[in-house]
Structure 1
């Protein structure tokens, strides 16, 4: 069945080939470029490598998207969600970092911008469906479309789509779901889509781009130096530039040079600005056996069909982990993994799978080992030592 489709054209190779495939399938395709970030309006100065460039990256992406649309003879619209991005994505991102947590802006961006603001724009303007260049797919059962993994397992992006409203999934097309990245590049080259065929894949923060991350955060969250403590010896082994700028499991950028590492971040005391680390010989501090996950967005037709034993990813590209779900309420579960998993991080997303089907995902609120909050155990261990001394 041919449909009237609004495709998000980003100025990258994936959405460009997605547009071509939809047109080839006979759909009535309109392309739309989203501008969601303004570096000058948003004080994006420190850590921005392109701030002095004559053309900002967002405008270059628009010109690349325009070249693709012209080549494919498709109409191109342009929409501006700078305010929505700041209010719903970036402010949440900053609020989470201020708490010492590690949010995922790509998940927030998909939830609030691509599959909310943009999706609603499409519906309001009479489109039957939206489409994107995500590597994902859908599987239909009994008239309901389940979000499914892409054929290219190396590029599968269902992890980042876990918070999308399931109603939006019903009206979304993923043209790249059945092909792999090398084929996408090959198609773009054959079509002579010169503006994108060899263009580097976008990395960094969603719609913002590559940044010196710590310097970038200083634009919004002031840095404050503090001590780095070895959780085993409880001795100070270095100085950090602000606990908010580090994440659990991080090993680079600690600058503990006088004792050979590597060293890993294992915990934080945000109130007292103390960063806790462990030496590579004591990595057991990184391991937990359960975590509390809240605000889960289930992508299934009937929540009662969710299996208690399934698999999960606690970060993108992590191999599937076997887990057991214990429901506390419809959107909160205690996730148990007795085999223990390293560097489960508060603020990140736990995304659940049943085979190729993405069941949904939620935010990791607390991380436990042997029934105790792991970060609180680390803080308590240090404070007890101080009291003893």
Structure 2
């Protein structure tokens, strides 16, 4: 091995600790890096103390302003356009992996590593991402924007582990005991999951808007379209005894369109910013998900130029939300993806 220096994304949790320790045990020179997105001093101290216990060098890099400009502000902007953006995809692409690569270049490290439960496999000269054996830990959905430049230098040390319990058992065997904590399943900068309250704090007061059906009939009023997303039932009023679901948003006039559950199902999904990990732009039969834990659908991808296209789905998909990602697979291989858009 020409260069055994590796930069590890080090959050101070069990996964990143195990990743760093595995690489150290294999003889790599390990440097753990914690990106400070929020000025969370207790988290930074925890990560620093754990790195010392493992016996690796550690650095914290302040990125609060950049995180706000590149992740939080685009999230707000898209939300106010009636989209339901996925900031985790954007964060992984423009903050975490780009940051690790830049730091690796600065420190003349050949490799970068993270605590994802994924596998890498080289085939036909291309590095492929394989999904996790434990579907609960599979995060491949968020990594479809990576390309060969990143994958050729990336290591996933936890590829051999089947579960979080196995990782904890490994750490305990190595003398590293960490308290169990609940894993975050939502957006890191909205820890309570209340997107509407977050948007309301960040934007001017919005006037009262209208609920309408798809024919234009007024069904009632609401206090801002950003309280709703396509497919939502909770918080939607029953009118004249009839239950409704959100089928569309019209942010430019602050209106929420209500309809029936059957109105949500679509067999054609339009996409922008298409990207394939191998650098190609593929069209034809493909498998895809519209959320991390979602069902693996079958469909056909058609290209329409300018990295846009559309999916023709074999079975109708419930509420594919503009702003979310449709991510492509070939069984257990991540292929790429694109962002769902209005049409």
Regarding TM over 0.5, the answer is yes
1:12–1:202 contact (8 Å) kept in structure 2:
no
Question: Offset at 1:94?
Answer: 1.5
Question: Offset at 1:158?
Answer: 0.7
SS of the residue corresponding to residue 34 of structure 1 reads strand
**Counterpart selection for 1:164 from 132, 140, 146:** 146
Question: Offset at 1:332?
Answer: 1.8
Match of 1:26 in 2: 27
SS of the residue corresponding to residue 185 of structure 1 reads helix
Question: Offset at 1:308?
Answer: 1.2
> Deviations 1:121-156 (Å, cap 9, x if unpaired)?
111211111111122221111332112212222211
Match of 1:363 in 2: 339
1:101–1:244 contact (8 Å) kept in structure 2:
no
| 1:292-331 equivalent positions in 2, closer than 5 A | 292-300=270-278, 303=280, 306=282, 308-329=284-305, 331=307
Question: Offset at 1:172?
Answer: 1.0
2:196–2:226 contact (8 Å) kept in structure 1:
no
Match of 1:7 in 2: 8
SS of the residue corresponding to residue 79 of structure 2 reads helix
Match of 2:117 in 1: 135
SS of the residue corresponding to residue 176 of structure 1 reads helix
Q: Count the aligned residue pairs.
A: 340
Aligned equivalents of 2:295, 2:319: Cα separation in 1: 14
Aligned equivalents of 1:96, 1:89: Cα separation in 2: 11
**Counterpart selection for 1:264 from 238, 242, 245:** 245
Question: Offset at 1:351?
Answer: 0.7
> Deviations 1:320-347 (Å, cap 9, x if unpaired)?
1101011222622211114211110111
Match of 2:164 in 1: 181
Aligned equivalents of 1:189, 1:153: Cα separation in 2: 24
1:326–1:335 contact (8 Å) kept in structure 2:
yes
1:107 pairs with 2:62: no
Question: Offset at 1:360?
Answer: 0.8
Question: Offset at 1:260?
Answer: 6.2
2:238–2:244 contact (8 Å) kept in structure 1:
no
After superposing the two structures, state which structure 1 stretch, 292-301 or 154-163, moved more: 292-301
Structure 1 residues 138 and 260: alpha-carbon distance in aligned structure 2, compared to 1, 3 A threshold: farther
**Counterpart selection for 2:103 from 121, 127, 144:** 121
Structure 1 residues 153 and 234: alpha-carbon distance in aligned structure 2, compared to 1, 3 A threshold: same
> Deviations 1:154-211 (Å, cap 9, x if unpaired)?
21101011122431122111112231222123334444544x4402213332466445
1:323–1:335 contact (8 Å) kept in structure 2:
yes
> Deviations 1:192-250 (Å, cap 9, x if unpaired)?
544x440221333246644533222112123423223344894515x433112321112
Aligned equivalents of 2:148, 2:190: Cα separation in 1: 26
> Deviations 1:76-132 (Å, cap 9, x if unpaired)?
111112222122212211111121101101000011011112321111211111111
Structure 1: 5+ residue runs without aligned partners?
39-57, 367-372, 374-389
Task: Normalising by structure 2, report the TM-score.
Answer: 0.91
Question: Offset at 1:30?
Answer: 1.1
Structure 1 residues 339 and 30: alpha-carbon distance in aligned structure 2, compared to 1, 3 A threshold: same
Aligned equivalents of 2:199, 2:41: Cα separation in 1: 23
1:323–1:337 contact (8 Å) kept in structure 2:
yes
SS of the residue corresponding to residue 317 of structure 1 reads coil
Aligned equivalents of 1:137, 1:330: Cα separation in 2: 31
**Counterpart selection for 2:267 from 263, 285, 289:** 289
1:290–1:338 contact (8 Å) kept in structure 2:
no
**Counterpart selection for 2:311 from 335, 342, 346:** 335
1:33–1:77 contact (8 Å) kept in structure 2:
yes
SS of the residue corresponding to residue 358 of structure 1 reads strand
Root-mean-square deviation (CA, aligned residues, Å) is 2.3
Match of 1:49 in 2: none
Structure 2: 5+ residue runs without aligned partners?
none
1:123–1:129 contact (8 Å) kept in structure 2:
no
SS of the residue corresponding to residue 337 of structure 1 reads strand
**Counterpart selection for 2:59 from 69, 77, 85:** 77
Structure 1 residues 232 and 198: alpha-carbon distance in aligned structure 2, compared to 1, 3 A threshold: farther
